[in-house]
Amino acid sequence: GNSVTQMEGPVTLSEEAFLTINCTYTATGYPSLFWYVQYPGEGLQLLLKATKADDKGSNKGFEATYRKETTSFHLEKGSVQVSDSAVYFCALTASGGSYIPTFGRGTSLIVHP
């Protein structure tokens, strides 16, 4: 079956540091890949997505590149802010068969001033 593996958190950074949150996946075919962000007490918001190999999704200074050769979709940001503190979820939906999304367990990011 499909699966998504994210790095364990929490990830603790100082403001303006570089962020990488690793995500790797297992899926048949050509899945679509997503990053969601969840701020405290809120629902999940779509942050960015990529639907085919080598696509780069980007939003709010975050970006992730769909790497089929390494089955990865790592989230990066060049300079984090305190307001980026949240939980980040990597997810996929398969190209065929089950359309049910598969989520990683989430990675908590804490940014200190």
CA distances in angstroms from 113 to 63, 80, 82, 89, listed in the order given: 22, 10, 6, 23
Task: Provide, rounded to whole angstroms, the least separation between the CB of residue 78 and other proteins.
Answer: 25
CA angle 72, 102, 93 (to 5 degrees): 75
Question: What amino acid is encoded at 11 in this protein?
Answer: V
Q: Which stretch binds other proteins (CB under 8 A): 15-23, 54-62, 71-79, 102-110?
A: 102-110
In the complex, minimum distance from the CB of residue 7 to other proteins, in angstroms, rounded to a whole number: 13
Binding range to other proteins, per CB under 8 A, among 15-23, 32-40, 62-70, 72-80: 32-40
Indicate left, alpha or beta for 99 from its phi (over 0: left) and psi (-120 to 50: alpha). alpha
- Positions that interact with other proteins (CB under 8 A): 32, 34, 36, 38, 41-46, 49, 87, 89, 91, 93, 99-101, 103, 105-106, 108
